[in-house]
Amino acid sequence: MNTVEAKQALDKVIDKARVHLDKSIQIAEILYRDRIEQDITLSDLTTYRTKSKKWHDVICIQFLGRTSTSSARYQDDVFNDNAVPPAVLDILGKENRATNGIVEAYIYRKFLQRFNQMTTGLDYCVTHDKSNFKLDEFLALFWHEAGLRQSIDKVYEIIVYALFATLVEALEISVAVSINPDKTDILNEFSDFAKSVIQLTPAQTTINLKARINRVGVTNAADRGANFGLAIQIKHLSLTEELAENIVSSVSADRIVIVCKDTEQKIIISLLNQLGWKSKIQSIVTESDLLRWYEKALRGKFADSIGDMMLKKLSDEIQVEFPTTDKKEFLQFIEKRGYHKLAHEDWK
DSSP codes of every residue in 216-230: TT---TT--S---SE
pLDDT for residue 224: 39
Amino acid at 319: Q
Minimum mean pLDDT among 192-206, 240-254, 288-302: which range? 240-254
Pick the more confident residue, 76 or 68. Answer: 76
**Exposed e or buried b per residue across 280-310, where buried means at least 16 C-beta atoms within 10 angstroms of its C-beta:** bbbebbbbebbeebbeebbeeeebeebbebb
Alpha carbons 102 and 173: distance in angstroms, whole number = 56
- Percentage of the chain exceeding pLDDT 90: 41
pLDDT for residue 143: 79
Strand 206-210, strand 174-178: pairing = antiparallel
Three-state SS at 38: coil
Give the tens place of pLDDT for each residue, 266-308. Answer: 887 887 777 676 676 778 889 899 999 999 999 999 999 999 9
- Helices 22-36 & 102-127 angle (0-180, nearest 10): 150
Task: Decide if pLDDT at 34 tops 50.
Answer: yes
pLDDT for residue 285: 86
Task: Decide if pLDDT at 334 tops 80.
Answer: yes
Pick the more confident residue, 145 or 48. Answer: 48
Spatial strand order of the sheet with 230-236 comes to 213-215, 230-236, 255-260, 281-286
Residue 199 CB-density burial (10 A; 0-12 exposed, 13-18 middle, 19+ buried): middle
Task: Decide if pLDDT at 46 tops 70.
Answer: yes
pLDDT for residue 146: 62
Task: Decide if pLDDT at 188 tops 80.
Answer: yes
Alpha carbons 87 and 85: distance in angstroms, whole number = 6
Alpha carbons 14 and 8: distance in angstroms, whole number = 10
Compute the residue count for the chain. Answer: 348
Alpha carbons 141 and 121: distance in angstroms, whole number = 6
pLDDT for residue 221: 39
For residue 347, give Cα distances in angstroms to 1, 8, 101, 175: 17, 12, 11, 58
pLDDT for residue 246: 53
How much is the average pLDDT of 24-39? Answer: 94
Give the tens place of pLDDT for each residue, 77-115. Answer: 889 998 999 999 999 999 999 999 999 999 998 888 877
Calculate the average pLDDT of the chain.
82
Q: Who contacts 36 (Cβ-Cβ below 8 Å, separation ≥6)?
A: none
Alpha carbons 192 and 198: distance in angstroms, whole number = 10
Q: Could you report how far apart the first and last alpha carbons of the chain are, in Å?
A: 18
Apex 130 CA angle, 125 and 132, nearest 5: 75
Give the tens place of pLDDT for each residue, 209-246. Answer: 888 777 655 444 344 344 555 555 666 656 544 455 55
State the CB neighbour count (10 A cutoff) for residue 179: 15
pLDDT for residue 277: 67
How much is the average pLDDT of 186-202? Answer: 90
Give the tens place of pLDDT for each residue, 108-163. Answer: 988 888 777 677 777 888 899 999 999 999 988 887 766 666 677 788 888 988 99
pLDDT for residue 281: 76
